[in-house]
Chain A
Amino acid sequence: MSALTPAHAAVLRAVDRCGTTVEAARELHLTQSAISKIVARSEASLGIAVFDRRDGRLVLRPQAHALMRALGAVEDEWRALRGSVADLRSGRALPLRIASTPSIGQGLIAQSIRRIVTEYPQARIELIMGDAPTELSQGSADLGVMFSPRVTDDIALTPLSHASIIALVREDDPLACRGSITLGDLRHRRLICFDREKSPLGWLIARAYEEAGLDYAPFMTVPYSISAAHLLARHGDVTLIDSLLTQAQRFDGLVKLEVTPTLPLTICLMTVRSRPLSRLAGRFVDILISGEKAD
């Protein structure tokens, strides 16, 4: 015997409201015989008579009032569920959570977000500034985009694009007119840079210093390139940051210098191998990888 379904609940409620199968059929745009069959089938599946038949009318049995209220809740809840499906489809119910750094967020990711919101105008997006591998492992992010990250086996890396380390100095700095510098040129300068343990960029720069026979000893360490650029305006002489930041944002009074030999960076997409992506996240990955831009 078929179980009570939400559609059956709607029919029983309509019959209760209208009092006849003819009226209920009109209200629900069904035939009268279909309504009669559904009422009979529902009563059979519930194992009780819901209505008394009196003078051609169906009258709710006194003991079925609580049941009718329960059927009302069925109608309301299933209507709400249909609305939730639309929210899921539009990306409103499940946010796309991307862990990244400000410079990647303002450049590469901002462009891709611009593209995806043309397809999913109602999508909710959370841009998380934090340690992407940790956010991914904890399940608080769906995707991560980072410079050359160090990750566990469960995180898949897909190279997206390349950048390099550049130096920023104030425009009144003697180095400002040089166009490019070596790490040796920075030997006696007060450096604002990344911690070698906490940041992949810090690790990369520290290694380059060691290969050049220099001590890597920033006097101030920062988590992000953007923090370094802002601090440089007041403290320190020079900072080494990723080249994406100055592509995305202008810093008045600061001059960008190439570093030779080049310190290349790879920007990688990170996804968790054991966790499937939502459709929205999957589409975002496609956009990132293909480099699609908004029209």
Chain B
Amino acid sequence: MKLNAVQVIDAFVRLGGTGEAAQGLAISQSAVIKSLHQAEHELDLSLVATVQGRLTPTPEAIELMRLARPALGSLRRARHEADMIRVGMADRLRIATVPGLAHSILPPAIAATRLALNDSAAVEVIFDHVRDHLAAGDVDLAISYGPIAIDGLLDVVLKRCPLVCVLGRPHPLAGLDALTHADLDGERLISYGPDGVSRSDSFQAALEQAGLTDRISITVRHTDTACHLAREGVGIAVVDGFVISSGLTEGLAVRPLEESPLVTAYAHHRDGAPLDRAAGILLDHLAGAAT
């Protein structure tokens, strides 16, 4: 099976038509059609059907591309490894994170790890798809808001903390020592959407338990966006208390949410093989930074 053919089928399936695939691949439509027919012949599969006068991917083409995803991903990873060698980062600490934790507990832990390794550790931080990256061996360590709980991966509880409210200092509620659920009535709330990775996302569970899930008007991916919007006076950011250990709330008022459920930060790594030194140090610092 030729890579070029797979790339053409992929574009055809993803974009839904031969014209769209041609545009996406910057080749002519006739080249796309020729390549698809050639692939049909070589693979002995039906890939293209005419439906209501339009060339459309068949169920086989769609299924083939679903099955080809890991193969295309493996090529991307190999190219990425080569890129890392080229920029002198062949030996690096690779971390996957959900956006909510990326800018709170992670940066100080990375800084402390690099310090412990005499500034010699190259670090690659990858966002999202934490479980997939870990399972594929793309990363050494990952952090998220919940256990991944799949075979071969180990979940480590780092620390728990309550939800906090971040608001601009001029905000009338900034004068209070702590905010209650009732204080937040009528306020525009900013928070994270589900991370989409954890089996149970402790941040979303805390929001739910606090009765705030349906009250969020603006969802963001990153803590700094939430803090920035609060600084602009757009609303009150309801985030996890880990944010206090970062510099993101400088110039802002951070108030505890009374009777807040706890949010848990987790680290994850592959089970069986020992963590390499840099990852071990980072894990220690993550646990420490969260306390």
A-B residue pair count with CB separations less than 8 angstroms: 113
Is the beta-carbon distance between A73 and B74 smaller than 8 angstroms? yes
A4-B78, A47-B86, A48-B85 known; A85-B52 Cβ under 8 A: no
B43 touching A85 by the CB < 8 A rule? yes
CB-CB nearest in chain A for B55: A276
The yes or no answer to B178 lying at the interface (CB within 8 A) is: no
Chain B positions within 8 Å of A82 at CB level: 1
Main secondary structure of the interface of B (DSSP, over half): helix
Contacting residues, chain A, for B43 (C-beta < 8 A)? 85, 89
- Report B-chain residues with C-beta under 8 Å of the C-beta of A81: 1, 67-68, 70-71
Cβ of B51 and Cβ of A274 under 8 Å apart? yes
A30: CB under 8 A from chain B?
no
User: Closest chain B residue to A74 by CB distance?
Assistant: B74
A282 on the interface (CB 8 Å rule)?
yes
How many B residues have CB within 8 A of the partner chain?
38
A274 touching B52 by the CB < 8 A rule?
A: yes
Does A64 reach chain B (CB closer than 8 Å)?
yes
* In the complex, B46 has a CB within 8 A of chain A: yes
- A184-211 interface (Cβ within 8 A of B): none
Judge whether A282 and B46 touch: CB under 8 Å.
Answer: yes
* A8–B58 CA distance with the chains assembled, in angstroms: 30
Q: A9 to B77, alpha carbons, bound, how many Å?
A: 12
Roughly how many angstroms separate A152 CA and B54 CA in the complex, as a whole number?
21
Contact A77 B74 (CB under 8 A): yes
- Select the residue from A3, A67, A76, A281 with max chain B CB neighbours within 10 A: A67
Residue B82 is within 8 A (CB to CB) of chain A in the complex: yes
Contact between chains at B49 and A277 (CB < 8 Å): yes
Given A278-B58, A279-B60: A4 in contact with B1 (beta carbons within 8 A): no
Interface residue count on the A side (C-beta < 8 Å): 39
Could you tell me the distance between the alpha carbons of A85 and B46 in the complex, rounded to whole angstroms? 11
Taken residue by residue from 261 to 295, chain A's Cβ proximity to chain B (1 for < 8 Å, 0 otherwise) reads as 00000000000011111110110000000000000
Shortest B57–chain A CB gap in Å is 8
- Evaluate contact between B82 and A279: CB separation under 8 angstroms: no
A46-81 interface with B by 8 A CB criterion: 46-48, 63-64, 66-67, 69-71, 73-74, 76-78, 80-81
B78/A70 in contact, CB under 8 A: yes
Inter-subunit contact A63/B49 (CB<8 Å): no
Contacts of B58 in A (CB 8 A): 276-279
Interchain CB contact under 8 A, B64 and A73: no
Cβ–Cβ < 8 Å partners of B71 in chain A = 6, 74, 77-78, 80-81
Within 8 A of A (CB), among B58-79: 58-60, 63-64, 67-68, 70-71, 73-75, 77-79
Name the residue of chain A whose CB is nearest to the CB of B51: A276
Contact (Cβ within 8 A) A276 B56:
yes
B250 at the interface (CB under 8 A from A): no
Query: A113 near B: Cβ within 8 Å?
Result: no
Partner of B86, one of A9, A48, A74: A48
B75: chain A residues at CB < 8 Å are 4, 6, 9, 74
Contact B46 A63 (CB under 8 A): no
User: Do B3 and A84 touch (CB < 8 A)?
Assistant: no
With CB as the reference atom, state the residue of chain A lying closest to B42: A85
A38 at the interface (CB under 8 A from B): no
Q: Which A residues lie within 8 Å of B60 (CB)?
A: 88, 94, 278-279
Q: How far is the CB of A68 from chain B (nearest CB, A)?
A: 9
Min CB gap B31→A, angstroms:
17
Q: In whole angstroms, how far apart are the Cα atoms of A82 and B6 in the complex?
A: 11
A78–B90 contact, CB under 8 A? no
Could you tell me if A273 and B52 are in contact, using CB atoms closer than 8 angstroms?
Answer: yes
B81 at the interface (CB under 8 A from A): yes
- Looking at the complex, which one of B45, B51, B83, B137 makes contact with A89 (CB distance below 8 Å)? B45
Q: Determine if B44 is an interface residue (Cβ-Cβ < 8 Å).
A: yes
B91 on the interface (CB 8 Å rule)? yes
A5 CB within 8 Å of chain B: yes
Q: Name 8 extra pairs, CB < 8 A, besides A48-B82, A85-B64, A278-B46.
A: A4-B82, A66-B81, A73-B74, A88-B64, A274-B51, A276-B56, A277-B58, A279-B60
Give the B-binding residues of A (Cβ under 8 A): 3-6, 9, 46-48, 63-64, 66-67, 69-71, 73-74, 76-78, 80-82, 84-85, 88-89, 93-94, 142, 273-279, 281-282
- Can you list 24 residue pairs at the A/B interface with Cβ under 8 Å? A4-B79, A5-B3, A6-B1, A46-B79, A47-B83, A66-B90, A67-B78, A67-B81, A67-B90, A70-B80, A77-B71, A77-B73, A80-B70, A84-B67, A88-B60, A88-B63, A89-B44, A89-B45, A93-B67, A273-B52, A274-B51, A274-B52, A276-B49, A279-B45
Residues of B with Cβ closer than 8 Å to A? 1-3, 43-46, 49, 51-52, 56-60, 63-64, 67-68, 70-71, 73-75, 77-86, 90-91, 136-137
